[in-house]
């Protein structure tokens, strides 16, 4: 079931609340800012505490999804720089995302191949266990 989160208050969210909403740690949020991955300037209170808006959270979710798919921080930073620069570089953004998509598809294909091998091995073990001859499964001889 999809969790419905309450709207963000006008004053924004604290870093702890933003961390809970995005599923990343406060440390990661700070790192994303320091690394130049956040496309907006995160608001601050008069005391200097961060206050996150919906746009900030939406962008952080994009960053975490890109990172989870294996996009290097350097590439996420490049993408963030392009987005921050504004209009006129959409073709470059598209190319960056298409290239990453191709890499993700290649990784998925490799994972599918690896999963197929695991499924075959599971089938062999189940079959041998059901037949009662699991002792005949190959095992390297010890010297």
pLDDT tens-digit map of 72-127: 999 999 999 999 999 999 999 999 999 999 999 999 999 999 999 999 999 999 99
State residue 110's pLDDT score: 98
> What is the arithmetic mean of pLDDT over 125-134?
90
State residue 135's pLDDT score: 82
DSSP string for 22-53: HTS-HHHHHHHHHTT--SS--EE-TTS-EEB-
Does one domain contain both 61 and 106?
Answer: no
- Contacts of residue 113, Cβ cutoff 8 Å, sequence gap at least 6: none
Q: Whose CA is closest to 5, among 62, 70, 54, 65?
A: 54
Provide the domain limits for residue 15.
1-86
In a domain, 32, yes or no: yes
Q: What is the mean pLDDT of the chain?
A: 92
β-strand partners of 13: 52
Sequence length of the chain is 143
Is the whole-model pTM more than 0.75?
yes
Does one domain contain both 7 and 69?
Answer: yes
State residue 134's pLDDT score: 83
Helix (H, G, I), strand (E, B) or coil at 13: strand
Q: Are 12 and 52 contacting, i.e. CB atoms less than 8 angstroms apart? A: yes
- Contacts of residue 84, Cβ cutoff 8 Å, sequence gap at least 6: 39
Does one domain contain both 28 and 73?
Answer: yes
State residue 1's pLDDT score: 65
Number of structural domains (the chain) is: 2
- Measured CA to CA, the distance from residue 117 to residue 114 in angstroms comes to 5
Cα dihedral across residues 75, 77, 81, 84: positive or negative: positive
pLDDT tens-digit map of 7-58: 888 889 999 999 999 999 999 999 999 998 999 889 998 899 999 999 999 9
State residue 123's pLDDT score: 96
In a domain, 126, yes or no: yes
Neighbours of 39 (CB within 10 A): 19
pLDDT of residue 2 exceeding 70, the answer is: no
Helix (H, G, I), strand (E, B) or coil at 96: helix
Could you give the angle at the alpha carbon of 19 between the alpha carbons of 14 and 24, nearest 5°? 160
- CATH number, domain of 14, equals 1.10.1660.10
In a domain, 142, yes or no: no
């Amino acid at each position: 079931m999809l969790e419905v989160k309450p709207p963000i208050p006008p004053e924004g969210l604290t870093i702890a609340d933003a961390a809970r909403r995005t599923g990343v740690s406060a440390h990661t949020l700070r790192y994303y800012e320091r690394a130049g991955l956040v496309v907006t300037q995160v608001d601050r209170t008069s005391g200097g505490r961060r206050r996150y808006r919906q746009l900030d959270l939406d962008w952080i979710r994009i960053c975490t999804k890109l990172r989870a798919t294996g996009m290097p921080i350097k590439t996420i930073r490049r993408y963030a720089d392009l987005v921050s620069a504004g209009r006129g570089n959409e073709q470059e953004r598209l190319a960056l995302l298409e290239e990453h998509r191709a890499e993700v598809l290649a990784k998925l294909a490799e994972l599918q191949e690896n999963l197929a091998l695991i499924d075959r091995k599971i089938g062999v073990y189940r079959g041998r266990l059901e037949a009662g001859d699991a002792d005949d499964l190959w095992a390297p001889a010890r010297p």
